[in-house]
Amino acid sequence: MLEGMVHALHDIHRVLKPGGILLDLRPAIGDRIVEVDLVSATLYAGMIDASATTADKQAADNAIAQAVEDGWYALEHQEIFEMITDMDTADDLRDYGGSFRRSVLAEEIIETVESLTADEPEDSYTVRIRRNMHIARYRKIAKS
């Protein structure tokens, strides 16, 4: 993974004009939170396990840090922000989890959502996923 990231950063550096901008947008290390937003309260339903992706995310962090250290890019700004994904039902949540390659949405979370929404009219609640994202802006430094 690390070699691929370094190669990609090198290729981007090669094609960017001097002073060009590299935007780095990717999921931050950590699990996603599942909530049910009812009219009366927002209730915690569980965490989507993203631990299988931690090594790849750390490798991406290391690759960009190395590219900065090597003088390819200068970091101009970075931050973590929360991305929210809303859906209508537990079935939507199940479909969402079905798209994961390595993260794990435990069936118990879906059962919790079904339990929390069982007595609620379908259009009166939202199933919400909260995920931290990393964004950074780097400027290309011309190699001499």
CA distances to 33, 80, 83, 128, 132 from 73, rounded to whole Å, are 33, 20, 26, 36, 24
Which helix (H) or strand (E) element contains residue 44?
strand 42-48
Is residue 47 scored above 90 in pLDDT? yes
Within 13 Å, how many C-alpha atoms sit on residue 88's CB side? 3
Give the confidence band of 3 by pLDDT, cuts at 50, 70, 90: confident
Which helix (H) or strand (E) element contains residue 73?
strand 73-87
Q: What does pLDDT average to over the chain? A: 94
Predicted local distance difference test score (pLDDT) of residue 144: 58
**What does the domain layout of the chain look like in residue ranges?**
2-140
User: Which pTM was predicted?
Assistant: 0.87
- Coil, helix or strand at residue 125: coil
